[in-house]
């Protein structure tokens, strides 16, 4: 008997459910895997040999492809991962063959405010501790590969500063003439460490490295993480890693990892990471976990490889895009689907009464502090006003030609009249609507949700991209700002304007996608603007180049690639039972 989520913490529920877990061998048998396709990491976690699976099943038709996105969240999140797990469990209860394909959580949020991304209540994936704390080492491989690139760059700069051209030639090196103030790359670490956003390295003597300003980003912001998400196979990954631009020379020419002759070694760290990881829901359905970029500062998708494998192994693949439809779904739509060639059958827009009230005028919740009392009282007016944000996201999904399903992620404080208002306004906007109580009841609470998704997947759609790759970069940014965010237009800093002109003149960048960086807490660049802001312009302050991943990255507002740790982080409540070795307190 599962524990009651109204009385027990998520980690307690997960720990109890883990006593009934299927082994990876049982999961593999259920999926029809052959022995050599399953690569166990213990009894309950495995990697999957994607090459062997895709080769064996290349003639099998794909299953239905479902993306889970959301409205603009509160700082506390809207339970999108919980909804994804609930949908997988609900489809399982309906005897549908289903797999989840989700992102790996970052150690930054897990040890900070947001927590793990395993879901919650009776809609989780397990085993929770391995899932939340490193899994099979993919993020560690990304950190090593990325930081090796920085080792190669900084050591080369030191040697070029200390040796003549003749001395470099004796060491079989040519002078790259790297501009110290045009270094694009930085270091990465998988924590939220604001103290590392701006650093100085190479202090000491000439044997201690090249002295310059540098920076750290969080691991999931690494271009290598983005490459893991979009790569089709090892050959593709190897080529992409060699195209990563780490800096520019004094003539403004790009310096790549291939120029540093480090791309092969970086790829070597990533070979095993290219295989998706296999875990399960607390009700025993298989879940693949692979790649983990944030949607506000990166592509925000699990891997193309995981989706391709899932669509061959099951009748339904439930994947998830980070944060709201304005950023996560937009990148799923215009980047991930473009790279994969896969066409989704429907998209779920997750909404909570709590978030709708926030967009409708209620006080904004503050992470680490109690939820304001106003959220515990019925206020249909706030909900109706907040539904403008929901309808905006429904319209975004419809612009992609995909059938939208609104999932009302139920909380015990929601009232019947508030739920009726959401149903009425969502249906008027052309979406199916389902109330789901998966957090409290697991798959049994997600049957209406599962049925709505099945119906939506059977209905024809007309999937289409927002822009074609021959659309100029400035026009793409304008289209995303106006059509997806609701902006009146776009403005550029002087630096961004200079880069924009250079990029639009560069034929090598012509076929690259556009990966926007923007706050997830508002449709605009300003996290304090809730609902559907009007009369504003999107300010682009910088544009980065991710040649390996295959996209340019316009950066809007003041968002940072290195989040900060709050004053009351989760690590204060995480500990280990020294008798059993079990970790407690992960949520």
Residues noted as catalytic? 80, 82, 103, 114, 295, 323, 411, 439
Q: Are 73 and 323 in contact (CB under 8 A)?
A: yes
d(CA 192, CA 446): 34
Do β-strands 245-249 and 254-256 pair in parallel, antiparallel, or remain unpaired?
Answer: antiparallel
SS3 of the chain: helix, strand, coil, percent, to 5 = 40, 20, 40
The two tokens of residue 366 are: 């503050």
Which one, of 1, 585, 17, 3, lies nearest residue 281 by Cα? Answer: 17
- Neighbour-count burial for 351-387, b at 16+ CB within 10 Å, e otherwise: bbbbbbbbbbebeebeeeeebeeebeeebbebbbbbb
Question: Helical H runs in 262-363?
Answer: 263-270, 304-313, 330-331, 337-340, 353-360
Cis amide leading into 127 (omega within 30): yes
CA-to-CA dists, residue 522 to 335, 491, 532, 561, angstroms: 21, 18, 8, 17
Among all chains, which residue has been given the structure tokens 């019947």? 416
CA-to-CA dists, residue 137 to 134, 266, 430, 582, angstroms: 5, 15, 43, 19
Q: Are 99 and 311 in contact (CB under 8 A)?
A: no
Extract long-range pairs of 507-511: CB within 8 Å, 24+ residues apart.
508/547, 509/473, 509/545, 509/547, 509/552, 510/469, 510/470, 511/469, 511/550
DSSP state at residue 243: T
| Bridge partners (DSSP) listed for residue 187 | 216
d(CA 239, CA 18): 40
């Amino acid at each position: 008997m599962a524990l009651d989520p109204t009385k027990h913490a998520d980690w307690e529920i997960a720990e109890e459910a883990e006593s009934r877990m299927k082994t990876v061998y049982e999961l593999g048998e259920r999926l029809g895997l052959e022995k050599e396709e399953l690569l166990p990491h213990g009894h309950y976690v495995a990697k999957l040999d994607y090459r062997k699976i895709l080769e064996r099943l290349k003639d099998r038709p794909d299953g239905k492809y479902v993306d889970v996105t959301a409205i603009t969240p509160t700082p506390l999140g809207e339970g999108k991962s919980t909804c994804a797990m609930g949908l997988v469990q609900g489809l399982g209860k309906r005897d549908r063959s289903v797999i989840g394909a989700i992102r790996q959580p970052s150690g930054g949020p897990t040890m900070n405010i947001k927590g793990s991304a395993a879901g919650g209540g009776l809609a989780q994936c397990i085993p929770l501790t391995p899932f939340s704390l490193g899994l099979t080492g993919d993020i560690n491989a990304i950190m090593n590969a990325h930081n090796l690139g920085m080792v190669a760059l900084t050591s080369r700069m030191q040697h070029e500063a200390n040796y003549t051209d003749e001395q470099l030639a004796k060491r079989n090196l040519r002078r790259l003439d790297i501009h110290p103030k045009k270094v694009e790359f930085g270091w990465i670490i998988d924590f939220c460490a604001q103290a590392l956003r701006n650093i100085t390295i190479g202090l000491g003597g000439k044997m201690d490295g090249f002295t310059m300003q540098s920076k750290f980003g969080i691991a999931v912001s690494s271009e290598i993480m983005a490459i893991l998400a979009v790569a089709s196979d090892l050959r593709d990954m190897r080529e992409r890693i060699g195209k990563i631009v780490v800096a520019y020379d004094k003539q403004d020419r790009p310096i790549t990892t291939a120029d540093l002759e480090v791309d092969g070694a970086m790829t070597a760290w990533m070979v095993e990471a290219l295989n998706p990881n296999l875990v399960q829901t607390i009700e025993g359905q298989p879940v693949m976990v692979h790649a983990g970029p944030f949607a506000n500062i990166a592509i925000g998708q699990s891997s193309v490889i995981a989706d391709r494998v899932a669509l061959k192994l099951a009748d339904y693949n439930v994947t998830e895009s980070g944060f709201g439809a304005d950023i996560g779904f937009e990148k799923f739509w215009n980047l991930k689907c473009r790279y994969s060639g896969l066409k989704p059958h429907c998209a779920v827009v997750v909404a909570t009464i709590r978030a709708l009230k926030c967009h409708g005028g209620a006080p904004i919740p503050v992470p680490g502090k109690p939820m304001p009392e106003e959220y515990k009282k019925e206020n249909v007016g706030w909900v109706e006003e907040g539904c403008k944000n929901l309808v905006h996201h429904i319209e975004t999904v419809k612009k992609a030609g995909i059938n939208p399903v609104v999932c009302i992620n139920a909380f015990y404080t929601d009232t019947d009249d508030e739920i009726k208002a959401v149903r009425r306004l969502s249906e008027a906007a052309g979406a199916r609507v389902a109330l789901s109580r998966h957090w409290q009841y697991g798959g049994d609470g997600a049957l209406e949700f599962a049925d709505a998704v099945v119906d939506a997947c059977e209905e024809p759609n007309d999937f289409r991209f927002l822009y074609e790759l021959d659309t100029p970069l400035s026009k793409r940014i304008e289209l995303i700002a106006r059509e997806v965010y609701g902006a009146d237009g776009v403005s550029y800093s002087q630096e961004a304007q200079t880069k924009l002109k250079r990029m639009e003149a560069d034929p090598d960048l012509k076929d690259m996608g556009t990966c926007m960086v923007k706050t997830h807490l508002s449709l605009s660049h300003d996290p304090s603007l809730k609902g559907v802001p009007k009369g504003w312009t999107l300010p682009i302050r910088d544009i980065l180049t991710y040649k390996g991943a295959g996209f340019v990255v316009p950066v809007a507002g003041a968002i940072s690639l290195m989040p900060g740790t709050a004053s009351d982080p989760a690590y204060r409540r995480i500990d280990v039972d020294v008798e059993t070795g079990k970790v407690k307190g992960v949520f």
